[in-house]
Amino acid sequence: MAIIVTLRTYWRQVLVIIWPLLLCPLVFPFSERSMESKCVFLFLVMALFWIVELLPLPVTALLPMALCPILGIKSSKEACKVFFNELTLILLGGFPVAVALEKTELHRRAALWFLSKVGLQPRRLLFGIMTMTALISMWISNTATTALMVSITKPLLENIYKDELESNKRIESEIREDLNGGTEDTGNRDIETIIIEYPEIKELLPANEEESRFTDADVESPSDTVLTFTIPHRPDTDESYQDQQTSRAVFSRRQTNRKYHIRGEKVELRNWRQIPLQADEINTISPRSSGNHRDSLEKLHRKASSTTPQGPSFQVALRAFTLSIAYSANIGSMATLIGSPPNLVLSQTMYKLSGRALDFGQWMLFGVPTSVITLVLAYVWMSVFLYGLRSTLTCKRLGSPEQVEYAAKMVREEQKKMGAMKFNEKVVSIHFIILVTLWLTRRPGFVPGWTVLFPDNYVTDGVVAVAIAVSLFIFSDVRPAVLCFRSKEDDRPPRAIPSVLTWRLLSHKMPWGVILLLGGAFVLADAIKVSGLSQTIEPHLHVVQQMPPWLVCLTVIAITCFITEITSNTVVAILLLPLLNNMAKLMRIHPLYLMFPATVSTSMAFMLPVATPPNSVIYAYGNVGIPDMVKGGFVLNFVATGVIFLAANTWGWLFFEMGTVPEWARMESNTTTAYNSMTTSSTILGTTHIASLANENFNNYTR
């Protein structure tokens, strides 16, 4: 028993040691093709470490830097060259600009301005929040975007549903007064009323009188709910439910919508204000209530229902809007090259394959139309999800003028607090506009870009990003009192002023883990190519030759969306792209026909918190649970799959000439080398059965 407890506690550490030991035969194979098997060892170790997160993802990404030289796959010098590359330069230049946007709250000002122009009627508000979230997510961190928009949205909804919330507060006060025998317990206003839903037992017996009263000592902190109640305990041989036990527990408010096991019985705790009971659902009572109190609770619930405004309740609207923010952040991130790490993984993979990475403008040709269409369909679905199909189709006006005015007043107050644009906001906005303009016009394709002024391939997107980032360290954070910057009324003496960006701020905000993760991915991908593993696995993918390319593309999109639901989207891109490149070569189609849709699909996972950072953020806020995410995201996964498939076969097919096979993507091996690779790989696996299959496949090739 002690061993089991120890394994449960230290299972990560145990697996970190055992998994590489189990794979040791790959390091010392009885074959001449030891390089491929060593690369398989590296790939499998990193795959499990990444998927299960035995170590932090950036730490696992450092393993190729150590294992490639040790295993003899490539030297440390060569690995370092691959680790730091052009896309690392884009990150080092792009992230400081995003940090500057966050510091000056320029994105917050833009969001408030956009919402004020779109309108604050509920359906327009949903459209404005989703659109603004997607636009901001194109340029800065998904996590920061989601956190910002949630902080803006919740106060807006509180203003729209102000009457309902005030009514609920009055009803809560009446319930407390009723449950306390006619006197309101004014000393414990922070304690929330909890409803216990018991699936088998219809009533919970009241606790002893002295236990049913709360005291200041019972409350461990204002953010906790102290719950004292008695539950009937069911022995295995006694069906009379006469045995009773009193249980006392402290639950965080954030956890009141989750299930717990108390004394072996399953109990679901629900905050009645967050999940209002229906009239036919009143089969539970408050921990301190009796039969009379239960009647009172039904009466008060009917009163609350009568004061609820037309349309969804506040909590339902809050959950739907919060989900919409996460979905929009995911959708917006696929529009630009720097929107999501998997996008950069594809760009660098293309550089390794063709000698030319995807630049900013090329990516937007595919990403922006895909993002816009998906966002519109997501808005329609979330409108149906929140307001119903009939209301959505008829465009029924929602919200009273008073509710809209409450929200508009809040937006005006927030804009008034921010005041006029500050000097640092103007500096950052100008730098941002210059950066995007230079990225889009560097090599637009239909006309020569400004890079014709420099030697070929000298100035890249990374060079532009770093130049703009360095400039932000030069410009001051406030308007300096020197030269032309001094106003006529300003008589301040010149003084030292900090710059818009400081190293302390940047080092704290910089996502170093993303840089390490991508660097390790690039080294792993290069190791697969250098070791010859990619050529070895190509013949084993012959089954895809029997499938039409469009079906393979659709299958890849669907599988990628599913896998991303249970592991990091960056990890999925790292592991899948080399395999998809080999599949495309074997099918004699353009690798981008499979790789581009798969990469974009890694951002289209909407159902589980682990799938993408925005999903994790909204789940951590506690406004939504996994059932809510699954209900809303399941349909969107199908919608996104259809849109991405459409993009790959229409404008993506046209822009990237996917109907042709580029020179670098053509098969380099003939049937004889394919046969040799297959028989060699079967020797590595040490099975005669695979060798016989290889002979059969060779006969099929030569017919």
Report pLDDT digits (tens) over 61-101. Answer: 899 999 989 888 888 888 888 888 877 888 888 888 888 88
| Residues whose CB falls within 8 Å of the CB of residue 545, separated by 6 or more in sequence, listed in order | 586, 587
Under the banding of pLDDT at 50, 70 and 90, the label for residue 446 is low
Confidence check: pLDDT of 216 > 60: no
| Closest by CA position to 148, among listed 97, 100, 94, 112 | 112
Confidence check: pLDDT of 262 > 60: no
Q: How far apart are CA 65 and CA 84, in angstroms?
A: 12
Single-letter residue type at 502: T
pLDDT of residue 327: 92
Structure-block tokens of residue 194 = 């909890």
Angle at 73 between CA 69 and CA 75, to 5 degrees: 45
Confidence check: pLDDT of 369 > 90: yes
Task: Decide: helix, strand or coil at residue 222.
Answer: coil
Least confident of 230-239, 381-390, 465-474, 476-485: 230-239
Q: What's the mean pLDDT in 532-538?
A: 73
Contact 284, 301 (CB under 8 A): no
Half-sphere exposure of 145 (CA within 13 A, CB side): 31
**497-507 burial by CB neighbour count: b if 16+ within 10 A, else e?**
eebbbeeebbe
Contact 52, 566 (CB under 8 A): no
Confidence check: pLDDT of 355 > 50: yes
Confidence check: pLDDT of 374 > 90: yes
| Closest by CA position to 105, among listed 336, 419, 453, 525 | 419
Helices (H) and strands (E) in the chain, counts: 30, 5
Structure-block tokens of residue 370 = 């895909």
pLDDT of residue 112: 85
Q: How far apart are CA 167 and CA 513, in angstroms?
A: 47
Task: Decide: helix, strand or coil at residue 270.
Answer: strand
Task: Decide: helix, strand or coil at residue 227.
Answer: strand
Under the banding of pLDDT at 50, 70 and 90, the label for residue 379 is very high
pLDDT of residue 554: 92
pLDDT of residue 222: 37
Under the banding of pLDDT at 50, 70 and 90, the label for residue 470 is very high
Q: How far apart are CA 583 and CA 596, in angstroms?
A: 14
Least confident of 13-17, 164-168, 316-320, 587-591: 164-168
Confidence check: pLDDT of 39 > 50: yes
Contact 179, 191 (CB under 8 A): no
Q: How far apart are CA 520 and CA 63, in angstroms?
A: 7
Least confident of 252-261, 384-393, 594-603, 648-657: 252-261
Contact 538, 578 (CB under 8 A): no
pLDDT of residue 486: 67
Would you put residue 674 in left (φ > 0), alpha (ψ -120 to 50) or beta?
alpha
Q: How far apart are CA 131 and CA 139, in angstroms?
A: 14
| Residues whose CB falls within 8 Å of the CB of residue 301, separated by 6 or more in sequence, listed in order | 272, 276, 277, 279, 282
pLDDT of residue 385: 82
Residue 670 has what DSSP assignment?
A: -
Least confident of 177-181, 471-475, 488-492, 679-683: 679-683
Rg (CA), the chain: 30
pLDDT of residue 556: 92
Would you put residue 686 in left (φ > 0), alpha (ψ -120 to 50) or beta?
left
Q: Which alpha helices (DSSP H) does 219-340 contain, by range?
A: 291-307, 314-333
Report pLDDT digits (tens) over 307-338. Answer: 344 456 777 888 888 899 999 999 998 898 88
pLDDT of residue 141: 78
Task: Decide: helix, strand or coil at residue 353.
Answer: helix
H or E segment and range at residue 252: strand 244-252
Q: How far apart are CA 569 and CA 577, in angstroms?
A: 12
pLDDT of residue 308: 41
Single-letter residue type at 22: L
Q: What's the mean pLDDT in 664-690?
A: 41
Report pLDDT digits (tens) over 21-31. Answer: 988 888 876 55
pLDDT of residue 241: 34
pLDDT of residue 32: 59
pLDDT of residue 33: 62
Confidence check: pLDDT of 378 > 90: yes
Tell which wins on pLDDT, 383 or 273. Answer: 383
Report pLDDT digits (tens) over 581-640. Answer: 888 888 888 999 999 999 999 888 888 887 778 888 888 776 787 888 888 888 899 999
Confidence check: pLDDT of 195 > 70: no
Report pLDDT digits (tens) over 547-560. Answer: 899 999 999 999 89
Could you please report the per-residue DSSP string of 3-34? HHHHHHHSHHHHHHHHHHHHTGGGTS-SSS-H
Q: What is the mean pLDDT of the chain?
A: 72
pLDDT of residue 646: 93
- Range 56-60 contact pairs with CB under 8 angstroms and sequence separation of 24 or more: 56/513, 57/513, 57/517, 57/568, 57/570, 57/571, 58/512, 58/513, 58/514, 58/516, 58/517, 58/520, 59/516, 60/520
Confidence check: pLDDT of 531 > 70: yes
